């Protein structure tokens, strides 16, 4: 039987090409456990995310996705995801302009547009272990 966690608050929202995500604060857990959850996983707390949307409506209207076409500056690649439906590896781009929503791009495009940030992301994903010889 899987454990159920209770949502204490909705802290933020982002929209990607495929879904809407909310940053969730979990009840009885500290902030290090906050997580981005797809709207599909939040059916039992619809009132919380609707309340968040209403109270942040002006911000939602002003925010748009960042784009390389507009020469928006990349802050970092926040995560690498695998899209099962399209069978493609995507990178989530976080933009320097914080009013822009994060954007998903195929990693091939990210290698072209922001190679330094991709190297930083790969470096974070590496797990290096030193084992001295006996």
Handedness of CA 25, 31, 36, 41 (dihedral sign): negative
Q: What pLDDT, on a 0 to 100 scale, did the predictor assign at position 75?
A: 95
Q: What pLDDT, on a 0 to 100 scale, did the predictor assign at position 62?
A: 47
Where do the domains of the chain lie, and which CATH numbers do they carry?
Answer: 7-62 (2.40.50.40), 74-125 (2.40.50)
Closest CA to 44 of 1, 10, 6: 6
pTM: 0.50
Name the E strands within 16-126. Answer: 20-26, 35-38, 74-83, 88-95, 103-106
Q: What pLDDT, on a 0 to 100 scale, did the predictor assign at position 63?
A: 54
Q: Is the pLDDT of residue 104 over 80?
A: yes
Instruction: Kindly calculate the radius of gyration of the chain based on its CA atoms and give it in whole angstroms.
Output: 18
Q: How many DSSP H helices and E strands does the chain contain?
A: 4, 6
């Amino acid at each position: 039987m899987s454990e159920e966690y209770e949502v204490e608050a909705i802290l933020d929202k982002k929209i990607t090409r495929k879904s809407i995500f909310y940053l969730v604060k979990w009840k009885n857990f500290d902030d290090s456990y906050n997580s981005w959850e797809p709207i599909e996983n939040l059916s039992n707390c619809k009132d919380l995310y609707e309340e968040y949307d209403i109270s942040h409506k002006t911000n939602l209207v002003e925010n748009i996705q960042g784009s390389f076409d507009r020469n928006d500056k990349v802050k970092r690649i926040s995560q690498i995801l695998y899209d099962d439906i399209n069978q493609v590896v995507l990178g989530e781009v976080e933009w320097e302009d914080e009013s822009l929503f994060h954007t998903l791009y195929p990693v091939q495009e990210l290698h072209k547009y922001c190679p330094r940030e991709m190297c930083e992301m790969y470096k974070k994903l590496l797990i290096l272990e030193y084992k001295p010889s006996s």
